[in-house]
C-alpha cells in the first residue's frame, strides 16, 4: 500500500516509462499469460500476423495494462480542472444528445486501452454513474481502490446484488456503467455472441438492463495516444427495437467495437481468456478453450432474453 501511494509523486513521464518497463517485464516472465495472449491473437487473426509481430502485440498489450493500473494509482494528480489536458474526445457531444433529455444510459466499456481513466474521464465529463467493482480479499485494498474510482463522481456498487441496484439507478433516470466484454462461466446468466468469428460467452447484465429499462447503451473506449495521453471515443448508441433478445443486444454492442480492435489490436487485454469455451468439435479456438454442455445449451437459445427476477445476472465486475 505504501508503495502505491508513492506513484502519485512521480512525474507523468516517469509514471509512463515505469509502466512501460513493468509491462515489458511482465510479458517476458509471465509465460502462461503470454501463451494465452498469443493463442488469442492467432485465433482472432489467423495468419495475418507473423510470430514476431504477435509477440510484439502481446508485449504492447501487457504494457497498456500496466499503464492502466499505474495510471489509476497516479490519478490523484488528476482533477476536474486539469484532466482534459491528458485527453482528446470524440463523439461526446453526440452521446450527450442521444441520451437527452433524461441523460440516463448504460455506459458499455471494454478492456481496451486505459479503461480506468476512461471511467474517471466520464465522471468529469458529466456522466457520473453507478459502477460495479471486483472485491479484494484484503478489505484495505477495497477502500483504496474505491476512493480512486469514485474521485470523479461515480458511486461504486458492491458486486453482491449489484444488478438490482443498477436497475434501480436506471429507473430513477441515473446511469450505470459496465465492462461488457467480461467472460463468465455458463452457470451465470450469460449470452453467447460471435467474437472474431468465434463463439464466446459474455455477461448478460448490460443487455438485461437495456431490455428492462429501454435506456440506450453508449459504447465507449479509451485508446492510447503517444506520451501517455488518451482519446475517449463515444460510439453511436445501441438501442435495439423492443423485443430484441439479450443475445442480439450483446452482439450489437460487440459489433460496434470489434472493428476498433481489428484496426489497432494491441490495447485490448489479450492475456484474458476471451474464449473459455468452444462448441463441440469446433476448431480454431485457443488451446485453453473447453467443451461445455451448458455453453452448448446457451448457444442454442438465442431467445435467452426473458429472465425472471430469481435469475438476475451478476453484473460484470468492472471499474467503469
Q: What is the pLDDT of residue 3?
A: 64
- Measured CA distances, 313 to 43, 65, 187 (Å): 28, 27, 10
Mean pLDDT by 10 residues, the chain (320 residues): 80 96 98 98 97 97 97 96 96 95 94 96 94 75 88 88 91 95 87 96 93 95 95 94 91 97 98 95 95 88 47 46
Establish if 62 belongs to a structural domain: no
Residue 232 counted as domain residue: yes
The three cell numbers locating residue 275: 474464449
pLDDT at 36: 98
Q: How far apart are CA 300 and CA 296, in angstroms?
A: 6
274-298 as b/e, with b when 16 or more CB fall inside 10 Å? bbbbbbeeeeebbeebeebeebbeb
Distance CA 173, CA 82 (A): 29
Has residue 318 been placed in a domain? no
On whether residue 102 sits in a domain, the answer given is: yes
Q: Is residue 66 part of a domain?
A: no
Question: Cell for 266?
Answer: 494491441
Q: What Å distances lie between residue 302 and 190, 194, 299, CA to CA?
A: 11, 12, 7
Report how many helices (DSSP H) and strands (DSSP E) the chain contains, helices first. 11, 11
Q: What is the pLDDT of residue 305?
A: 41
Q: What confidence tens digit (pLDDT) does each residue in 59-79 have?
A: 999 999 999 999 999 999 999
Task: Report the chain's C-alpha Rg in angstroms.
Answer: 19
| Domain contains 127 | yes
Pairing state of beta strands 190-195 and 198-203?
A: antiparallel
SS3 label, residue 36 = helix
Domain range spanning residue 227? 81-311
Q: Which helix (H) or strand (E) holds 254?
A: helix 246-263
| 2-34: pLDDT as tens digits | 667 799 999 999 999 999 999 999 999 999 999
DSSP SS3 for 33: helix
Of 191, 249, 244, 243, the closest CA to residue 217 belongs to 249
For residue 38, is it within any domain? no
Give the pLDDT of residue 8.
94
* Number of folded domains that form the chain: 1
Residue 282 lies in a domain: yes
Amino acid at each position: 500500500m505504501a508503495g502505491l501511494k508513492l506513484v502519485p509523486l512521480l512525474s507523468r513521464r516517469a509514471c509512463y516509462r515505469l509502466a512501460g518497463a513493468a509491462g515489458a517485464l511482465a510479458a517476458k516472465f509471465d509465460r502462461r499469460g503470454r501463451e494465452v495472449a498469443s493463442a488469442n491473437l492467432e485465433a482472432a487473426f489467423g495468419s495475418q500476423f507473423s510470430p514476431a509481430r504477435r509477440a510484439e502485440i502481446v508485449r504492447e498489450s501487457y504494457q497498456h495494462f500496466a499503464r492502466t493500473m499505474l495510471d489509476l494509482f497516479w490519478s490523484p494528480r488528476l482533477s476536474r480542472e486539469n484532466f482534459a489536458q491528458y485527453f482528446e474526445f470524440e463523439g461526446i457531444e453526440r452521446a450527450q444528445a442521444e441520451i437527452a433529455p433524461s441523460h440516463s444510459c448504460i455506459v458499455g466499456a471494454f478492456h481496451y486501452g486505459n479503461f480506468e481513466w476512461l471511467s474517471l474521464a466520464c465522471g468529469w465529463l458529466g456522466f457520473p454513474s453507478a459502477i460495479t467493482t471486483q472485491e479484494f480479499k484484503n478489505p484495505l485494498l477495497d477502500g483504496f481502490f474505491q476512493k480512486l474510482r469514485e474521485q470523479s463522481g461515480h458511486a461504486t456498487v458492491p458486486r453482491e446484488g449489484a444488478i438490482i441496484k443498477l436497475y434501480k439507478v436506471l429507473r430513477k433516470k441515473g446511469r450505470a456503467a459496465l465492462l461488457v466484454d467480461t467472460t463468465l462461466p455458463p452457470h451465470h446468466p450469460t449470452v453467447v455472441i460471435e467474437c472474431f468469428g468465434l463463439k464466446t460467452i459474455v455477461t448478460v447484465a448490460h443487455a438485461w438492463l437495456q431490455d428492462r429499462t429501454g435506456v440506450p447503451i453508449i459504447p465507449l473506449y479509451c485508446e492510447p495516444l503517444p506520451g501517455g495521453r488518451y482519446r475517449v471515443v463515444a460510439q453511436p448508441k445501441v438501442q435495439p427495437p423492443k423485443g430484441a433478445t439479450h443475445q442480439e443486444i450483446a452482439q450489437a454492442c460487440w459489433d460496434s467495437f470489434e472493428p476498433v480492435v481489428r484496426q489497432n489490436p494491441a490495447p485490448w487485454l489479450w492475456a484474458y481468456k476471451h474464449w473459455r469455451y468452444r462448441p463441440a468439435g469446433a476448431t480454431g479456438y485457443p488451446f485453453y478453450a473447453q467443451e461445455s454442455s451448458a455453453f452448448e445449451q446457451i448457444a442454442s437459445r438465442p431467445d435467452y432474453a426473458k429472465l425472471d427476477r430469481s435469475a438476475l445476472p451478476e453484473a460484470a465486475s468492472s471499474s467503469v
